[in-house]
Chain A
């Protein structure tokens, strides 16, 4: 169901019609799906990533640690703050339009 919605979304975009903004549930779902997909890709490449990035280092910390422990969570966290504020704004807008 989620993927059919996702495909529908993409096909709407490619067909040149004006794209309707997805609702908050779909946005949350897409974000989760994106994160899960990223984990699957990351996991599939894990043997190579761990082999390569454990030798290279930044601040003497192996890159594998640097990426997974600090960089990825920091990026996700920054996006989450943006995502939460955007969702809040869209929900407020929806409430206002309902009131009108």
Chain B
């Protein structure tokens, strides 16, 4: 490496400031376009194009022909910026799209996902970050396996990393298609293809460096886009612009008053009321704890997050950037309950108690076609409203039918957008929300694709088959792998629509049961025999996959046919959640590792940490 080489990642702090200024200008132009009467999709196109330009710019700006820079960016990252990059990776479809919906539907139960996510970020900061940065490895697989590990162990580890990353990328691409269709009015396959091309160009040229630059620049956009509608509504309703503190007085209180009136009048039963303030419906103590630990363990060992600490040159810097990531995540994720509460309030205040013939007058937005279509976000009597006749027919045929709590539904992954639409927020805020969603999805998909491709090319091709391969060939293979995987995942997302939650469960359960136990042993420098490591990985993966399949699809391998296995554990739970298969797999893995650790001590082996 020549001394005069100045990695672009070093300038990311200044870049991020300039980027935010440019983004503000773009928003200003979009508002101006709207004010002069240009069609709504002009503004939306402008903002999404700017977003795509960010990825392309980072790709070309950080483009390199050096393998070491492609993999580790010359260790030029600064702690706060890498923290931003990790936080952008942490805010995926689950946080941006699904978590508000989970709070909306499950109330207190969703706290398990919330706390699991936060705890995972903490584990990432104190365990994975310093270990990965100090080991100076290129992939997570390289960190987890030892020099004396067998081929089977290497392949097992490689498989786990690739499966986790690809499943996660697939979930993000599916969500990208859905956001494009519902919010931007563009067909899903087109949005997915364009997104795949943009992401692929970015990581193809610049590798980990462009990934870190993009994510560090894009984090403020994600945070601003997620928080703006909530701050707006909070300020509008109670005059206090911090939704994390105001959603009680602004939304929960009015909703509970409406609930009480409905109960008193006999229009609804206690079970139909908003569950956010009552006890959870589904999770017992075991599932609650297992869900927290499973999500936390998976996040701590997620390859697309851990790899970022490779651009930092030391344990202390990596730990500090991990702590910054926790802070940046907390700023965004802590507003998710407020989003759920505001969504409920807006649904209640806009639709509840209306007679069907009133809808075209009092809720005309329901039938308006537009870029952000309300009809796709809410459902009345179980169907998305397309016309008044269709709604009347779905609600039993009488136009005097009064809409009650059980008649009104919302698409759970689109709860935030439903809130913005029902809250009658300006179109620019809705466009900002959609842009932020795309940014969050892209910034998770790119990292997951890069982690999978890097693992396949480095650990699959180079370490196992062509150990004397020249650097140029290795870089070429890495890029070809990125290209191939991007095409495959994008095609998979278009072909396989739905099952997002199942894929997410699979990725997290495998990450928790296979990768985390080894990462923990490695972080704490606890010695384990290679045989027990292999047994732990294999046992954890088999238990997880078998239980996951049985509890999710059953023996006929089809969803929702009713033959799903109900896994009960005496004295603990009557029905295991599918994702918690990962927790049981993790316990199996730890049992093997514990046995291996004791054997190691007895035989007085030297430590396996390299």
Contact = CB atoms under 8 A, between A and B. Distances in A.
A11 B447 CA distance: 45
A68 B115 contact: yes
B320 interface: yes
Nearest to B126: A28
B249 A32 contact: no
A25 B130 CA distance: 10
Contacts of B401: none
B126 A80 contact: yes
A50 B108 contact: yes
Interface string B286-321: 101100110010000000000000000001100110
A80 B122 contact: yes
Interface in B555-610: 594, 597-598, 601
B554 interface: no
Interface in A54-83: 54, 57-62, 64-65, 68-70, 72-74, 76-77, 80-81, 83
Contact of A1 (B122, B123, B280, B526): B526
Contacts of A10: none
B122 A65 contact: no
A31 interface: yes
A9 interface: no
B316 A69 contact: no
B245 interface: yes
Contacts of B122: 35, 76, 80
Given A50-B279, A54-B277, A39 B289 contact: yes
Contact of B319 (A35, A64, A87): A87
A60 to B, nearest CB: 3
A91 B317 CA distance: 11
B76 interface: no
B246 A59 contact: yes
A59 B289 contact: no
B293 A39 contact: yes
Interface residues of A, number: 45
Contacts of A87: 315-316, 319
B114 A35 contact: no
Contacts of B285: 43-44, 46-47
Nearest to A76: B122
Contacts of A83: 126
Nearest to A89: B316
B125 to A, nearest CB: 6
A54 B523 contact: no
B334 interface: yes
A73 B335 CA distance: 13
A43 B289 CA distance: 5
A4 to B, nearest CB: 9
Interface centre among A50, A54, A60, A77 (most CB of B within 10 A): A60
A88 B319 contact: yes
B252 interface: yes
B337 interface: yes
Contacts of A81: 323
Nearest to A4: B601
B297 to A, nearest CB: 10
Contact of A77 (B249, B293, B323, B597): B323
A7 interface: no
B248 interface: yes
A78 B285 CA distance: 28
Nearest to A23: B525
A84 interface: yes
Nearest to A29: B524
Contact of A46 (B288, B296, B594): B288
Contact of B245 (A24, A35, A43, A59): A59
A51 interface: yes
B467 interface: no
23 contacts: A1-B601, A25-B523, A25-B524, A29-B524, A32-B123, A39-B296, A42-B289, A43-B286, A46-B289, A50-B279, A54-B278, A58-B248, A59-B246, A60-B253, A61-B248, A62-B248, A64-B108, A65-B111, A69-B114, A70-B244, A80-B126, A84-B320, A87-B319
Which 6 residue pairs are nearest across A and B when measured between Cβ atoms? A60-B248, A43-B289, A61-B248, A88-B316, A60-B249, A29-B524
Interface of A: 1-2, 24-26, 28-29, 31-32, 35-36, 39-40, 42-44, 46-47, 50-51, 54, 57-62, 64-65, 68-70, 72-74, 76-77, 80-81, 83-84, 87-88, 91-92
Given A62-B252, A68-B114, 19 more contacts: A1-B594, A1-B598, A35-B122, A39-B296, A44-B289, A46-B288, A50-B279, A54-B278, A59-B248, A60-B253, A69-B244, A70-B244, A70-B334, A80-B326, A81-B323, A84-B320, A87-B315, A88-B316, A91-B316
